[in-house]
Amino acid sequence: QVQLVESGGALVQPGGSLRLSCAVSGLDLDSITIGWFRQAAGRDPEGVSCFGLSYFGPYYAASVRGRFTISKDNAKNTFYLQMNGLTFDDTAVYYCTASSTRAEYCRRQYMDNWGKGTTVTVSS
């Protein structure tokens, strides 16, 4: 079975940093698209970053570009989201996601595997 498990969420102050991790089983990280999505209270989930798209390079939402970095370690079957310069607007439940095949776009409907989420709260 496919399983994704996130970790690393925490309460942090504005300007702080966090690294989220996603442990993956049942998928080959070299042949799929991986991504991070987040859902703030009362809002729809949104794509934060995706890697391994069919035709495009790494995707970053405009709101996180230059602050967040997606990466992976194939040997450990794990991928990450490094988050720097956190702001109040980054507060959300963060989900790691993966497609069974390569996705064309970093959108929810392309991601058929989701973790349970890890909570990031940015507060002073």
Task: State how far the Cα of 88 lies from the Cα of 50, in Å rounded to an integer.
Answer: 22
Total number of residues shown for the chain: 124
Share of the chain above pLDDT 90, in %: 96
Q: Which two tokens stand for residue 10?
A: 């925490």
User: pLDDT tens digit string along 18-57?
Assistant: 999 999 999 999 889 999 999 999 999 999 999 999 999 9
| CB neighbours of residue 36 within 10 Å | 27
Q: Cα(100)–Cα(98) distance, rounded to whole angstroms? A: 7
pLDDT digits (tens, 9 = 90+) for 64-85: 999 999 999 999 999 999 999 9
